[in-house]
Structure 1
Amino acid sequence: MNVTILTDSASDLTETYYKAFDIKMIALTVHLHGKDFKDGIEISPKNVYEAMREGSNTKTSQVTPEAFRSMFIHYAKANEPLVYLAFSSELSGTYQTAKMIEQEIKEDYPNAPIHILDTKCASIGYGLVVVRAAKLARDGASVNEILDMATYHAEHMEHIFTVDDLEYLYRGGRVSKTAAFVGSLLKIKPLLHVDDGKLIPLEKIRGSKRVLNRMIEVMESRGTDFENQVIGISHGDDLERAEQLATIIEEKFSPKEIIIEMVGSVIGAHSGPGTLALFFLNKPYK
């Protein structure tokens, strides 16, 4: 019996991936214009970025307990193995909610083959972990084989990103109001990364042109085995810069593949339009 892989919408995967690899998705919620929308189902990232550019405030919320309960009960009753690879617990309460519902379900179905892993990843970095797991599941791998591989990829997935406007990070509590104001005046672009699931400032760069080169330098110093890797790039409605970054990476590192996707509605609601993110492994691919 093949293992089913479950992700949430913060992996920023599109319907193409869900269909190609039989991945199940459960949605976080975007709050916009006084309404609630299921991320990746009822609203597109483009909608969110256009609203943000017009000055609208956006908020997000985690996957509901009811959504997890419905999903988990189905697999518990059928006694079919389910592996949920979750959005970083440092960025959302979704993982904690899933664990709470798992415990609840296992009171009635103690042997339910439901397994949950906190990837500590986000956006396409998270998505790359999910797709790798789904490929293994498709090929008949066991739950333990999938969890071992997913743990390895999640632990070694680098997230290097920048944002176009510090104001959005200020609204999300990531930088102070003064830093956002001064940064905007001086055209300072922050370079950030993810460390143990948390967003951590890495350095400040003056001028957007220098950001791409610095991202490549960080990639070269931290990464390895690029020719065997699928490199991920995600962007906040700025395909041109994403493609520029991809071209540089292709010429310099010749990776196995580069995938480019838009930063999804939930993450984009906090990072804002113009975000550019790069994802790669810092250990050999396996």
Structure 2
Amino acid sequence: MSVVVVTDSTASLPPEVAAERGILVVPLQVVIGARAHDEGSAEATPARVAEALRDFRPVSTSRPAPAAMLDAYERAAAAGAKQILSVHLSGDMSGTFESAQLAARDAPVRVVCVDSREVGVATGYAALAAADVIGRGGSVEAAAAAARDRADACSSLFYVDTLEYLRRGGRIGAAAALFGGALAVKPLLTIEDGVVTSLEKVRTTGKALARLEELAVVAAGDAAIDLCVAHLANPERADLLADRLRSRLEDNLDGREIWCGELGAVLGAHVGPGMIAVCVAPRL
């Protein structure tokens, strides 16, 4: 293959999908206590992260080092890649994109880096859009444009039980977290221009999830979409939301399955147990 797509583990692509599409995935790291583990390893599962957070053990995350990104680029080149498209989560949320840029300078082939300005599976859908263009014989520039367009079109919506974990990770201000905790509100959040922003505040979990459903339906409109529902330690509510959206958005999905599963360990470390997220991704 003359052009290979590389992304990172926060893109939340099922391993079988990444393998089928020839997408290389570079893991971020989860640090539990004093030990660092690659996301996706047996030591860095969502369940272990949720348990550590509940037990008030220190949990943090770390970007891939430039050397790890360079290793992925070198492996792709050794397998025959002439060019590489590297698609990653928002540079305002992680240093992963910066690592990709630094590694690209020393790569044995040309590397084009794309900051998706998104997180989670929205980045994954951007990487898949790029792979679609490459599969049709398109240029790396056309694939990069498709990745940016797909990410821009995505709506990432999520509910958290508390803003405390986002505050600990520096993803939301201390004042906002204190305000939310004091009022016992259930925040609905989104990603806007690469950062977490407040969307709405409601009083109960039930109202929050009902509102999340409505916002997802509005985001879908009349478009053909892909849809993902993710959670951390909240499978029953995630399954219920996926079932409701499957029924309400049947025409938009046109037989495509909703991806529904647990959020990766890295993102889970920043949102905490109980989180529910929906990504609505219009098909371009």
CA contact (8 A) 2:219 2:280 kept: no
Distance in 1, Cα, partners of 2:28 & 2:162: 24
Can you give the 5+ residue segments of structure 1 that lack an aligned partner in the other structure? none
CA contact (8 A) 1:124 1:234 kept: no
Distance in 1, Cα, partners of 2:179 & 2:113: 42
Distance in 2, Cα, partners of 1:151 & 1:21: 18
Distance in 2, Cα, partners of 1:86 & 1:225: 28
Aligned AA (1:45): P
Is 1:54 matched with 2:52?
Answer: no
- Which residue number in structure 1 is paired with residue 145 of structure 2? 148
Distance in 2, Cα, partners of 1:177 & 1:89: 21
Q: 1:81 to 1:176 in 2, by over 3 A?
A: closer
Q: What is the root-mean-square deviation of aligned Cα atoms in Å?
A: 2.2
Distance in 1, Cα, partners of 2:17 & 2:212: 27
Q: Offset at 1:49?
A: 1.0
Aligned AA (1:69): L
Q: Offset at 1:245?
A: 1.2
Q: 1:76 to 1:166 in 2, by over 3 A?
A: same
Which aligned pairs between 1:161-240 and structure 2 lie closer than 5 A?
161-175=158-172, 180=177, 183-184=180-181, 186-226=183-223, 228-240=224-236
- Which residue number in structure 1 is paired with residue 267 of structure 2? 267
Distance in 2, Cα, partners of 1:272 & 1:241: 15
CA contact (8 A) 1:79 1:113 kept: no
Q: 1:98 to 1:177 in 2, by over 3 A?
A: closer
Which aligned pairs between 1:111-122 and structure 2 lie closer than 5 A?
112-122=109-119
Distance in 1, Cα, partners of 2:235 & 2:21: 25
- Which residue number in structure 2 is paired with residue 17 of structure 1? 17
Aligned residues: 278
Q: Offset at 1:261?
A: 2.5
- What per-residue deviation string (whole Å, max 9, x for no partner) do you get for residues 35-69 of structure 1? 11011134211111122122212011111111112
- What per-residue deviation string (whole Å, max 9, x for no partner) do you get for residues 236-283 of structure 1? 1211111111122122221323111211111111111111111113xx
Distance in 2, Cα, partners of 1:150 & 1:201: 25
Distance in 2, Cα, partners of 1:19 & 1:6: 11
Q: 1:66 to 1:178 in 2, by over 3 A?
A: closer
TM-score of the superposition, structure 1-length normalised? 0.88
- What per-residue deviation string (whole Å, max 9, x for no partner) do you get for residues 167-207 of structure 1? 21221234555654564465411111101111011121100
- What per-residue deviation string (whole Å, max 9, x for no partner) do you get for residues 198-234 of structure 1? 10111211000011221123223333334x2111111
- What per-residue deviation string (whole Å, max 9, x for no partner) do you get for residues 105-128 of structure 1? 4xxx5xx23221111111122222
SS at match of 1:134: helix
Is 1:63 matched with 2:60?
Answer: no
Aligned residues with identical type, % of pairs: 29
Can you give the 5+ residue segments of structure 2 that lack an aligned partner in the other structure? none
TM-score of the superposition, structure 2-length normalised? 0.88
Distance in 2, Cα, partners of 1:262 & 1:56: 21
CA contact (8 A) 1:81 1:114 kept: yes
SS at match of 1:190: strand
Q: Offset at 1:153?
A: 0.2
Distance in 1, Cα, partners of 2:273 & 2:71: 34
